[in-house]
Structure 1
Amino acid sequence: MLSPRARRALGLAFVGLVCGLGFWSPAFLAWDRSGWGDWQQFHHWWEIGVVSIRRWGEWPFWDPHHCGGVSQWGQPQAQNWSPLYLLLAVPFGTVVGHKLFILVHHVIGFTGLYVLARQEEKLRRPGALLAAIVWTSSGFAAWHFAGGHSTFLAFLYYPWLIYCWRRADRDVRWAAAVAAIMAELLLEGGHYPFPYAVVVLGFDSLMRLRRRNAWPLVRTMIVAGVLTGLLGAMRWVPILIAMSRHPRPIEDTDRIRFDEVVEMWTAREHAWRWDGHEWVWAEYGTYVGWSVLALCVIGIALALRRRHLYPVAGALFFLAFSMGYHGPLWPSSLLHALPFFSNLHLPSRWQVVCTMFMALLAGRVVSSLDATLSAWRFHRDFDWIRPLAPWALTLAIALDLYVVGLTITDRWDGEPLGTRAVETPHLVRTHRYLDEFADYPSRNVGTMECYDAVPWHRSRSLWTGEVPQVRIVDAESGETRDGDVLHGYGRTNHRAWADVTLGAPGRVIFNQNYEQQWVSSIGTVVDDDLRLAVDLPAGRHRVEVRFAPDDLPWSVVASALGAFGCLIVVARPWRRARAPRATP
């Protein structure tokens, strides 16, 4: 028999599931169709793991199907090691798995903001429900998630992150939950959600330091910080290595006026391009509607009147970030000057945090309306209005968000994946690269084209076509020689082999990019015009090369230690503050 608390939790999750199925119904109605926009890129990365695990029985450390071959282990946006990926992608496949991935995150974000609103902001049920709906069904969620920004789904962990962060002040065991969420942000490719989360927790801490003893917060920072560093090592270490070898400094001068921010919040339709801005509207659209905006203004007044500055300060603070660069002392400019944050652009993406606080402010008004109506005395013929009015307002706003959002989320019109025949490995060149490269892993082909945020070092000497993917040349002249024979070759995800006979010492060139973390079973791995090559002595050899990340054993061991540390923190009977005894 379930306890009342468990029943409430299941009920809340069910409501979130129903709301998520409604908002993302176009994706599930087009069950086998792949996604639009950047979904093709994330489909590609997910397919690498699905094909590698299913076909080769290997972890997807390398991407042989993109950019001439690059590290998947060091790819900042890779999600192949997230528990949710392993639970959804491998059994269900990439397309269906991605749609379930969206739905699961919708439920996580919905329940998280509802619990945060109820437990921390003390909102009544209609207000908490409105806040959860506004945040998970805003234009930001519709445009970014329907457009393929799969890593941005990790933003939906933020309410639970804040909730656990605050609980850790009273019971340090919650710091393990904070570390687990922060590590999951990294595992889901959180190149934006993870650094943004650091700023969000920093803001939350500063707001609470005004009236609290600093030691519990410092203790939480230390415990959660150490556990996050260990638990997330298998992601942040390879990402740090990859980005240090392939730096990506971003020059971003995008500036948004306040009237333009209002347009982002209220425009039900918009042209694809936005005059005066470099990026398309999908990067800016954050529809919440005039009703929510009006409730936010009233919510600010109510919060200030009760001296509850947290949601007001949060909305204004992150609004300033989202407005871009308005001088060297503007928050976005100062943040962009810090390490790692210089790799990020499009400050309008801070709207995901701003709208979270706006949702709490709007929910506060509905909560106050519910409390006021509950205290009023109506004529018995009109008494039914009291409980109905706040719920009716919530429903009306939800319908408005869904009417706008469903026109955006109905973008699942790509070809199904994995339906084409498996080919012998080779590199292809096509004019439809962005429409086709999600299918390259299942087809077993690759490309030199490179739609990727990381500026990988790529060889211009690779060759295309259904021809042998291994060449034997003289190491000095680079010319082919008589007497050298290629008997066979093949590859899996992060392994390649060739059976060769060399009449004299020579060089075996594999048709992919060189990376210094490749090792060979024989001979010496060398860089041949940025191509992977091995220098071999004369004779017949079966040479096998393998991508072996330098940090792999140490990063995984550190993450295992972090998991063990979380268990110790949770299991240890920490001393809690006791309530004072009542005087007889």
Structure 2
Amino acid sequence: MTPPSRRLLRTAHRLATLPGPRLALFGVLALIACWHPLTRAGALNDFRDSHLLHSYEDAGTRTLTRYGQLPLWNPWSCGGQYALGSPQTRVASPTLLVSAALGARRAEPVVLWAFLVLGMEGFFRYARRRAGSALGALAAAPLFGLTGFTALSWAIGWLNFAGFLLLPWLLLGTQWAARGKVSGAVLVAGIFAFLLGFGGTYPVPMGALFVALEAGRTLYGMRGTSRWRTALWGLGTTALFTLAACAYRLWPLVETMRSSPRVMAGTPGQSIQTLARMMLELPAPSGHSNPGNFFLVAVALALVPVAVVLSRRSRYPVVVAALCVWMAAGYAAKPSLFAGLRTLPIYGTFRYPERFLVPAGLFIAELAAVAIAVLLVRAKRSPSPRWKWGAALACALVVAGWGVQVHAFTRLTHWATLLVEPPPTPPESEQPFAQARGNRWAQGYFLAINRGSIACGEAWPVPMSDRLRGDLPQEEYLEEASSGTARRVEWTPNRVEVDVAAARPTVLLVNQNWHPGWKASVGEVVSRDGLLGVQLPAGEHRVVLRFLPRSGIGGAVVSALAWVGLGFVAWRARARGGRQTQDARGAAPSGGEKADARAATGPGVRSGQLGPEALMVASVPLFVWAALLTAWHEPVARAVPRNPDGSPIQVASLPPNARRLDVRFDVPVELVAAEVPGAPDADGFVHLTLYWRVTGPVPRSAGVFVHLPGPEGSQRKNADHAVLGGTFFFHEAPRDTLLRDAFAVSTKDWEAGEWKELVGLWHASGDGSRISAQGSDGKPLQESRVEAGAFTVPPKPKP
């Protein structure tokens, strides 16, 4: 390598290692990529998901800035819901302070920019250690940090998915924790706590998966050395501190999901060709389509073979990237790794396997960093000019790839449906809070007029009362109007004050959902068919209702103890390190003594402070958590399971017009009866109903197949589903009760004539085989299915 090129390489390496110039580069790249969102900051994103998810941030911001309260209860959504217990809210994150300072809508692109910078810097720090080159890590950092899915997430209102960019920080913290560093425990615990508060329904469980893999990778690299035991202490302590640090959000989430589980069914999958288009095809300038959703510039993939051939450092990222792609294929891959993952707790809520392309992009970018590192080393050491040209070409292509990556990111941000004509945001209206019928896909307009929406668009069954009203003259009233009067004194999201004059014992009703976290200064808080109520004695009372949930308050106490414990461990480590330094200065040992001292202390003591003592400290918050769970009891707010048409799933008896079938399957499931109308309704829908009974444990893979063959020459239709009424898998369904499974099919383009409904069970998420069945006479059913009924599609009217 010539002297000028060596000087240039040294200068580039020096700049890469300096945080100031490096962050300035990342900041400029992020600024260019975010220019479109930043110039339209404050505009309303009219995409339906954005309306729903942004309303949560808006509610949290209003609660903090207008009422001076923490965003524990959200009265503006679904008739009132527990904000900390809703998985997709990000009001428990420090980014809420940015929203409070700038406004919820103006803060979004600023937060997006910050995440991009954090993502690039985190990747640099992670890849620098794994690739062994600051320049290689710097070159590959924008390829991951500007991943296309982050832009898409912002465009459709899923800003919480920007949490994927913190994955390198988690892996870096895991490495530090395995070396016994307190900073590793702080980093892992802090990132997971932040992601949970930011609504990381996918980044958190996926991050936990890759942290576990990174821990295994690190332990494998330490096998046979004294550092292995230090790593076990460090990783175990980090796991306990992380669990406790997340309690403030984890406890409410677990409580909510246990009472109202989020059910995800189906067998989603994508072919390898589709996945390749998602990653490598340049996104369209506007609109929504799969190609380019996870864009990663092709130069990263082009460098993968270089890394594989020239470096052993490529083994792990190659394997994990391949596993990510396999996972991303979902059920289209045979066998399906994603199907196996969904059998684990929490991961059963995953709906979109293609999101594993984000971590796949991380490890592909790591391979690109390894390739550049190897080429630079070969160019420096080898006299052959081909290595110099190869390294120069690789660096030039990667730098050019930055531009392509930024261009693709910008295109994806243009997919946002932003209202730029005046007014870009709904006009504010100062009026007392009240519930309205609402619109789940237009909630962005309701908070501006201080109205709650009782039309709920959540992906989990929020416990909602059937007695919620959107037309009440006042929101607080007495159950029996003749028993007295009720007058609102003050209203805030977490506190409602009402003056009641009752001639006899009565119940004060508040037009919001009941939750066990509501406490009253007078009387007893009760649930009136899911509606918030207070049972009061006769007389005049000033009733003060406060929302003080056990999981929110108790979880905050546990998390605070975790951070106090981490602070104590860090203080002890620093004090111990200071004493060791003083001893070293006083003793001045010989060379051999120095070597013996290093061997005795090792990285677990000098650079690592996470040992048995730290593990004991980390256990204290968890013992407190267990004590709170034991001593502090609360009832549970459960959602009433309903079909999509609003009918209850559990029924006491069959309706008179149901046709008895009495089909028994080789699993403990009975198809008791069915309802099939004779013809579609006026809108062309056929409303079908099946009545099931589960009497024992059923495999997780069991689902319903519904085949609808029509007149000769027509194509058979299907209405298969693995979840009864959108609520229960068979293996989770209530036992020994009648389950009403109602669903509908549209016959808009169906041929006229008679159509039959053939029903059976199959292993929907397994091998696809059918489950044998016997009819009411005990004989096996042909093709393991029964005819539940038939209906006739009339001829279409001539235009």
**For the Cα contact (< 8 Å) 1:62–1:494, is it kept in 2?**
yes
Task: Report matched runs for 1:40-51 at 5 Å.
Answer: 40-51=51-62
Tell me by how many angstroms 1:182 deviates: 2.0
Q: Counterpart of 2:429 in structure 1: which amino acid?
A: A
* Aligned match of 2:237: 223
Which runs of structure 2 are paired with 1:196-207 in the superposition (5 Å)?
196-207=206-217
Q: 1:182 to 1:309 in 2, by over 3 A?
A: same
User: Which of 451, 459, 465 is equivalent to 1:459?
Assistant: 465
Does the CA-based 8 Å contact 1:374-1:387 persist in structure 2?
no
2:35 aligned partner, one-letter code: S
Q: Could you say which residue in structure 2 is the equivalent of 1:549?
A: 549
Q: Give the aligned partner of residue 434 of structure 2.
A: 426
Q: Kindly state the Cα deviation for residue 271 of structure 1 after the two structures are TM-superposed.
A: 11
1:44–1:438: 8 Å Cα contact kept in structure 2? yes
Question: Could you say which structure has the greater relative contact order, defined with CA pairs below 8 angstroms and 6 or more residues apart?
Answer: 1
Contact 1:507-1:534 within 8 A present in 2 as well: yes
Q: How large is the Cα RMSD of the aligned pairs?
A: 3.1
SS at match of 1:191: coil
Alignment match, 2:304: 296
TM-score normalised by structure 2 residue count = 0.65
Alignment of 1:526-565 (within 5 A): 526-565=526-565
Unaligned runs of 5+ in 2: 1-13, 585-590, 597-799
Alignment of 1:311-330 (within 5 A): 311-326=317-332, 330=336
Aligned residue identity for 1:514: W
2:197 alignment counterpart: 187
Write out aligned runs for 1:23-102 (5 A). Answer: 23-35=33-45, 37=47, 38-86=49-97, 88-102=98-112
Q: Secondary structure at the match of 2:526?
A: strand
Partner of 2:254: 240
| 2:641 alignment counterpart | none
Q: In the comparison of the two structures, how many residue pairs are matched?
A: 559
Query: Relative to 1, partners in 2 of residues 1:266 and 1:403: Cα closer, same or farther, differing over 3 Å?
Result: same
Instruction: Give, as a single letter, the amino acid of the residue that structure 2 aligns with 1:520.
Output: A
- Deviation track 1:278-311 (CA, whole Å, cap 9, x = no partner) reads xx746982122433332334433334xx364111
For the Cα contact (< 8 Å) 1:95–1:416, is it kept in 2? no
Distance 1:317 1:517, change over 3 A: same
Structure 1 position 440, deviation (Å): 3.2
| One-letter amino acid of the structure 1 residue matched with residue 397 of structure 2 | L
1:81-116 CA distances to partner (integer Å, 9 max, x unpaired)?
322332x11211111222211111111110011122
Q: Given that residues 254 and 324 in structure 1 are in contact (C-alpha distance below 8 angstroms), is that contact kept between their aligned partners in structure 2?
A: yes
How many angstroms does 1:210 deviate by?
A: 3.2
Aligned to 1:152: 161
> Is structure 2 residue 39 aligned with structure 1 residue 22?
no
Aligned letter for 1:513? N
Task: Check if 1:413 corresponds to 2:424.
Answer: no
Residue in structure 1 matched with residue 278 of structure 2 by the alignment: 264
Deviation of 1:270 (Å): 6.2
- Per mean C-alpha deviation after superposition, the further-off stretch among 230-239 and 318-327 is 318-327
Q: Is the contact made by 1:469 and 1:489 (CA closer than 8 Å) also made in structure 2?
A: no
Q: What's 1:115 paired with?
A: 125
Same amino acid, percent of matched pairs = 24
Partner of 1:399: 403
- Most deviating of 235-244 and 457-466: 457-466
- Structure number with the higher helix fraction is 1
The answer to whether the aligner puts 1:254 opposite 2:268 as a matched pair is yes
Bigger Cα Rg: 2
1:396-434 Cα shifts (integer Å, max 9, x gaps):
212222222211112261464474122221122355x42
1:473 to partner: Cα distance: 2.4
1:276 alignment partner in structure 2: none
Identify the range of structure 1 (311-320 vs 420-429) with the bigger mean alpha-carbon deviation. Answer: 420-429
- Partner in structure 1 of residue 520 of structure 2: 520
Deviation string, structure 1 residues 209-262 (Cα, Å, up to 9, x no partner): 333234233212211011112111111111111111111122131112222211
- More off after superposition, 283-292 vs 18-27: 283-292
Report the Cα offset of residue 39 of structure 1.
3.2
The aligned counterpart of 1:358 is 364
Matched position secondary structure for 1:244: helix
Give 1:338's match in structure 2, choosing from 344, 347, 350: 344
TM-score (norm 1): 0.88
Structure 2 counterpart SS, 1:467? coil
Look up the SS of the partner of 1:488 in the other structure: strand
Q: Is the 8 A contact 1:27 1:412 kept in 2?
A: no
Which residue matches 2:685? none
Deviations 1:139-165, CA, capped at 9 Å, x for gaps: 222212332222212221111211121
Asked whether the equivalents of residues 485 and 501 of structure 2 are also in contact (C-alpha less than 8 Å), the reply is yes
Mark the CA change 1:338 to 1:510 in structure 2 (over 3 Å): closer, same or farther: same
Q: What amino acid does structure 2 have at the position aligned with 1:89?
A: S
Change (3 A) 1:187 1:383: closer
Shift of 1:543: 1.6
**251-260 or 38-47, which moves further after superposition?**
38-47
Greater mean alpha carbon deviation, residues 175-184 or residues 484-493: 484-493
1:515-544 superposed Cα distances (whole Å, 9 cap, x missing partner): 122111112222222211122222222222
2:488 partner amino acid? G
Which residue is equivalent to 1:172?
A: 181
Partner secondary structure for residue 18 of structure 2: helix
**1:394, distance to aligned residue in structure 2 (A):** 1.8
Q: Equivalent residue of 1:210, what SS?
A: helix
SS at match of 2:250: helix
2: CA distance, partners of 1:558 / 1:491: 30
Specify the SS of the correspondent of 1:511. Answer: strand
Q: 1:15 to 1:538 in 2, by over 3 A?
A: same
Change (3 A) 1:449 1:302: farther
- Equivalent-residue separation in structure 1 for 2:297 and 2:569 (angstroms): 44
Q: CA deviation at 1:375?
A: 5.1
Q: Which runs of 5+ in 1 are unaligned?
A: 274-279, 475-479
User: Which deviates further from its counterpart, 5-14 or 15-24?
Assistant: 5-14
Shift of 1:167: 2.0
Deviations 1:361-395 (A, max 9, x none): 2233333444444456699xx99979864442122
Question: CA distance change for structure 1 residues 422 and 328 in 2, over 3 Å: closer, same or farther?
Answer: farther
Report if the CA contact (8 A) 1:283-1:348 is conserved: no
Counterpart of 2:477, as a letter, is: R
Distance 1:313 1:258 in 2: 17
Give the Cα separation in 2 of the matches to 1:571 and 1:199. Answer: 31
Q: What letter is aligned with 2:71? A: P
Alpha-carbon distance between aligned partners in 2 of 1:405 and 1:43, rounded to the nearest angstrom: 21
Query: Partners of 1:360 and 1:327 in 2: how far apart?
Result: 25
Q: Return the structure number with greater strand share.
A: 2
Task: Answer whether contact 2:283 2:411 (CA < 8 A) is retained.
Answer: no
Distance 2:95 2:42 in 1: 20
